[in-house]
């Protein structure tokens, strides 16, 4: 089996329903995976849910139910439907309560224990249940409002809890130099650069061993430590392993080898250290390779702070998709926010971009182009005659858009891939204005020139159709049904910019409306 391009999202806590911050991560990972599939590669996207730990347990109990019933309901009613809402094409969905996961986590733990990477000890520290993490003093800030006078978690703005535990530790400190060497030898391992710098300087300061178990005297919602059933596994240690337990760790070596190491692990920058420090150290201890890349993206902000349900600033993804559709959701968040940077969402910006870029820019380009081929050539794509300078310019931009958008994806610069593709949308709209097919159509003597112009437009649309397929699967599916021959999935990104693929004489079909007018912004 050859290796597939393997992309992962974080697995999400099921203490609440998803908001657009979670959907943002899902869409980015999905676009990357679909792009690689459109290149003709085998590509695999894993996502799922993180169900153990105190945070989920407390929420379940607070809702007068047990954690398993709570997570079952939320996964079914909220998290799986999210994937439909924003059109995610994942190849697997893992829940940390899956039997396959639990068994493999125990195998992994036992191996590390047997190999001497785990020991028993005691620990005292400040725990943030929201982060499910012990905090250093430097991670805390002064509380405000009801927490005035207390030190609170900088992410959740809630007080931390003093814990004194007797538990098992992973020898993370032994991996400091190995990790630094790994960052040095693999400059792209943590991206973007700002994230990489933060991680490297964090590790340079030295690493403490990591407490990886919790006594059942406190709570027991987790996976049993295999050699000591009075302890359960720390939720992050359990959760990080999902990336390999889903693909056959300890069970199916061939499947594991066909996917691991992951090519891109997409995470929010809030959980970068877990993925770029603890996770590779765990893998090194088990004799496995670290992922090829961990990409830490920015936050969707509300009022300058990370959008979050606990702060009541979360917006449900379907509030947006009900009005604008999933393609617009995907396009907007991937284009409007540089991937890796923070960004704010606004209904006004979304609505303005929907109208100008999607409905007028792309949708209208497609519908009027097809309408003109119908009107002037009975729907049959005409053969091009001699190309003039204006035509050659479109051809050059089509090629450039395809090459540069593809290169941007290798840098995980999703916004740039869209910007590069959009140069062709703008060029085709300008070309239509400057060539004015409706003027050419007035005189029979211009028939050949009119044919060339219409061919250039349809062929340009085809290039766009392929490049935008990973971003807007629904609209490009409709466009392909009107202008394409064969399966859209068989059109590779690598050949998208080649000129002359549309066959003269091919009869265009009806085009369904791509971006219907949306009158209200909400
Ligand atoms: N369960 C852990 C991850 C375990 S992975 C082994 C967790 N879950 S989470 O549900 O709290 O958040 C997961 C991810 O959701 C974040 O890393 C980030 O990718 C995404 N986001 C949550 N809020 C977000 C924003 N406001 N903006 C952008 N992404 C956000 O952490």
Supply 338's token pair: 């540089």
> What whole-number distance in Å separates Cα of residue 304 and Cα of residue 204?
30
pLDDT value at 102 more than 70: yes
Using CA atoms, how far apart are residues 99 and 201, in angstroms rounded to an integer?
38
Residue 282 resides in a domain:
no
CA-based nearest residue to 464, from 502, 436, 433? 502
Residue 388 is predicted with a pLDDT of: 98
For residue 517, the model assigns a pLDDT of 86
Catalytic site includes residue 306 = yes
Instruction: Judge whether residue 143 has pLDDT over 50.
Output: yes
| Bridge partner residues of 141 (DSSP) | 152
Residue nearest to atom 13 of ligand 1 (CA): 12
Count of Cβ atoms closer than 10 Å to residue 522 Cβ: 10
Give domain status of residue 240, yes or no: no
Rounded to the nearest angstrom, the distance between the alpha carbon of 366 and the centre of ligand 1 is 37
Query: Is position 449 within any domain?
Result: yes
**Ligand 1 pocket member 353 (CB < 6 A):** no
Residue 458 predicted with pLDDT over 80: yes
* 417 assigned to some structural domain: yes
Strand 294-297 with 210-211, pairing: unpaired
Range of the domain at 479: 347-496
Model pLDDT for residues 195-254, shown as the tens digit of each residue:
999 999 999 999 999 999 999 998 999 999 999 999 999 999 999 999 999 999 999 999
Residue of 111, 156, 188, 400 marked catalytic: 156
10 lines ligand 1 (CB under 6 A): yes
Residue 50 in contact with ligand 1 by CB distance below 6 A:
yes
The per-residue pLDDT for 50 is 98
> Max CA-CA distance within the chain?
90
* CATH code of residue 385: 1.10.730.10
Angle, helices 447-468 vs 414-435, to 10°: value is: 170
Bridge-based pairing of strands 224-225 and 228-233 is antiparallel
Full-model pTM: 0.95
* Centre of ligand 1 from the C-alpha of residue 218, in Å: 26
19 is catalytic: yes
First and final C-alpha spacing in the chain: 48
Rounded to whole angstroms, how far apart are CA atoms 328 and 443?
A: 40
Reduced 3-state DSSP string for 389-424: HHHHHHHHHHHHHHHHHHHHHHCCCHHHHHHHHHHH
Q: Is 264 contained in some domain?
A: no
- Is 131 a known active-site residue? yes
Confidence at residue 185, expressed as pLDDT on a 0 to 100 scale:
98
Which atom of ligand 1 has the smallest separation from the CA of 266?
Answer: 19
pLDDT in tens, 405-450: 999 999 999 999 999 999 999 999 999 999 999 999 999 999 999 9
Phi, psi of 253 (to 5 degrees): -60, -35
In whole angstroms, what is the distance from residue 431 CA to residue 411 CA?
31
On whether the CB atoms of residues 87 and 474 are closer than 8 A, the answer is: yes
Site of tokens 């949306």: 518
Count of domains observed in the chain: 1
Taking CA atoms only, the protein residue closest to ligand 1 atom 25 is 21
Q: Does 300 sit in the ligand 1 pocket, CB within 6 Å?
A: yes
Could you tell me the CA-to-CA distances from 443 to 159, 300, 376, 437, 467 in Å, in that order? 77, 54, 12, 11, 35
Q: How many helices (H) and strands (E) does the chain have?
A: 22, 18
Is residue 268 within 6 Å of ligand 1 at its C-beta?
yes
DSSP annotation string for 430-475: HHHHHH-HHHHTT-GGGHHHHHHHHHHHHHHHHHHHHHHTTT-HHH
Residues 6+ apart with CB under 8 A from 465: 476, 479, 480, 483, 484, 488, 491
Mutation to probe ligand 1, out of 14, 17, 20, 25 (largest number of atoms < 8 A from CB): 25
Residue 132 lies in a domain: no
Contact 228, 168 (CB under 8 A): yes
Is 266 a member of any domain?
Answer: no
Mean pLDDT score, 310-336: 92
pLDDT score of 125: 85
Confidence of residue 68 (pLDDT cuts 50, 70, 90): very high
DSSP string across 157-214 = -SB-EEEEEEEEEE-GGGGHHHHHHHHHH-TTSEESHHHHHHHHHHHHT----EE-EE
Question: How far from the centroid of its chain's Cα atoms is residue 476's Cα?
Answer: 19
Q: Report CA(265)–ligand 1 centroid distance (Å).
A: 13
Backbone angles phi, psi at 11, to 5 degrees: -95, 140
Residue 257 pLDDT more than 80?
yes
* Residue 443, in any domain of the structure: yes
């Amino acid at each position: 089996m050859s290796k597939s391009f393997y992309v992962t999202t974080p697995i999400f806590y099921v203490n609440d329903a998803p908001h657009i911050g979670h959907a943002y991560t899902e869409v980015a990972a999905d676009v990357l995976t679909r792009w690689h599939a459109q290149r003709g590669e085998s590509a695999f996207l894993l996502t799922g849910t993180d169900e153990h730990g105190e945070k989920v347990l407390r929420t379940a109990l607070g809702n007068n139910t047990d954690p398993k019933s709570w997570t079952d309901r939320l996964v079914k009613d909220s998290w799986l439907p999210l994937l439909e809402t924003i059109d995610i094409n994942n190849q697997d969905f893992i829940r940390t309560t899956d039997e396959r996961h639990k068994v493999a986590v125990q195998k992994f733990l036992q191996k590390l224990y047997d190999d001497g990477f785990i020991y028993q000890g005691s620990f005292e520290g400040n725990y943030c249940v929201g982060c499910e993490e012990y905090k250093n003093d430097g991670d805390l800030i002064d509380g405000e409002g009801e927490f005035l006078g207390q030190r609170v978690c900088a992410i959740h703005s809630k007080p931390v809890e003093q814990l004194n535990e007797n538990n098992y530790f992973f020898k993370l400190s032994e991996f400091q130099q190995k990790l630094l060497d790994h960052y040095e030898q693999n400059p792209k391992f943590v991206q973007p650069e700002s994230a990489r710098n933060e991680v490297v300087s964090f590790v340079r300061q030295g690493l403490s061993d990591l407490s990886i178990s919790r006594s059942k005297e406190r709570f027991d919602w987790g996976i049993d430590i295999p050699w000591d059933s009075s302890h359960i596994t720390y939720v992050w240690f359990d959760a990080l392993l999902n990336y390999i337990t889903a693909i056959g760790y300890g069970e199916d070596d061939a499947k594991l080898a066909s996917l691991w190491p992951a090519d891109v692990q997409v995470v929010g920058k809030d959980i970068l250290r877990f993925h770029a420090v603890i996770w590779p150290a765990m893998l090194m201890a088990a004799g496995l390779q670290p992922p090829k890349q961990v990409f830490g993206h920015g936050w969707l902000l509300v009022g300058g702070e990370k959008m979050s349900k606990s702060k009541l600033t979360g917006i449900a993804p379907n509030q947006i998709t009900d009005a604008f559709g999933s393609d617009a959701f995907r396009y907007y968040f991937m284009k409007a926010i540089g991937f890796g940077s923070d960004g704010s969402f606004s209904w006004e910006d979304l609505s303005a971009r929907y109208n100008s870029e999607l409905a007028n820019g792309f949708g209208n380009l497609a519908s009027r182009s097809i309408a003109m081929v119908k009107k002037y050539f009975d729907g049959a794509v005409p053969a091009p005659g001699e190309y003039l300078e204006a035509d050659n310019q479109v051809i050059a931009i089509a090629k450039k858009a395809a090459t540069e958008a593809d290169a941007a994806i290798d840098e995980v610069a999703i916004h740039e891939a869209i910007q590069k593709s959009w140069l062709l949308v703008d060029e085709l709209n300008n070309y239509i204005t400057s060539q004015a097919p409706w003027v050419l159509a007035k005189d029979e003597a211009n028939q050949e020139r009119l044919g060339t112009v219409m061919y250039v437009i349809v062929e340009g649309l085809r290039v766009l159709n392929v490049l935008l397929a990973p971003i807007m699967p629904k609209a490009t599916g409709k466009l392909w049904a009107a202008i394409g021959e064969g399966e859209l999935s068989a059109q590779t990104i690598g050949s998208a910019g080649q000129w002359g693929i549309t066959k003269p004489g091919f009869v265009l079909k009806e085009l369904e409306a791509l971006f219907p007018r949306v009158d209200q912004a909400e």
